[in-house]
Amino acid sequence: MKGIRLLALTCLASGMPLMSTAAEEVRYNFECDTPAAHFSYWKRTVSSSEIEISGKVAMRVLREDEKFIPIANIVLRKGKERTGRFGIRFFVSAKSPDRISVELLKVGGHDAIGTGSLPNNKKPIPFSLRLDSSGMLKATVAGSEASTMIGPFEPETFELSCSTSEINFTDVTVIEKASTTR
């Protein structure tokens, strides 16, 4: 039993999948911890234009910096360009440290999800991100939704990232549907 706990802790610390039985989905946990003005990420490849991601995010420690704000991203990405990434962004501004702003990253910018903010209470916030085969991207955060049509999009990677903060991504699942475009 001690060895199993050690393996689980090792998987959690490294962002590796933690599996209990063959019948359960693979769940990812990523403890993203960066100093002020730095970032870190975890990614995995995907091979479908129809995908659903869900999990929880908790903004644990927010660091101060003159130039950069604490931020967490959950994105589907095609290539390395910023214009080829779509998903959910959480951030906390110095003007409103008691609120977490929540946005849908889309073509040409971003939209608020729900009212656009949540209380910053350090508790895990449930999220889901779904891309369907028509190119419709739908984000759900703590029960609020936003969607956008991004058109034909074949993501290459799914990425969790953070900057200037300690963020815990937990119970993250990635379900890819069979793709006919590749």
Q: How far is CA 25 from CA 28, 124, 176, in A?
A: 10, 20, 12
Structural domain includes residue 15 = no
Q: Is 5 contained in some domain? A: no
Tokens standing for residue 156: 């290459």
| Cα–Cα distance, 107 to 110 (Å, whole number) | 8
Is residue 173 predicted with pLDDT exceeding 80? yes
pLDDT at 1 over 80: no
Q: Are 65 and 36 in contact (CB under 8 A)?
A: yes
Does residue 12 or residue 97 have the better pLDDT? 97
Q: What are 147's strand-pairing partners?
A: 138
Structurally, the chain folds into a number of domains equal to 1
Q: What is the DSSP string of 109-129?
A: EEEEEEEEEEE--S--EEEEE
In this prediction, residues 96-102 reach a mean pLDDT of 95
- Asked, for residue 158, whether it belongs to a domain, the answer is yes
Supply the mean pLDDT for the chain. Answer: 87
- Tens of pLDDT, residue by residue over 60-92, are 999 999 999 999 999 999 977 766 899 999 999
Q: Is residue 103 part of a domain?
A: yes
Domain extent at residue 157: 30-176
Tell me, yes or no, whether 171 lies in a domain: yes
Looking at the chain, the number of H-run helices and the number of E-run strands are: 1, 13
Within a domain: residue 172? yes
Query: Is 53 part of any domain?
Result: yes
Is residue 166 assigned to a domain? yes
Dump pLDDT digits (tens) for 32-62. 999 999 999 999 999 999 999 999 999 999 9
CATH classification at residue 89: 2.60.120.560
Bridge partners (DSSP) of residue 76 are 86, 158
How far is Cα 34 from Cα 16, in angstroms, rounded to an integer? 18
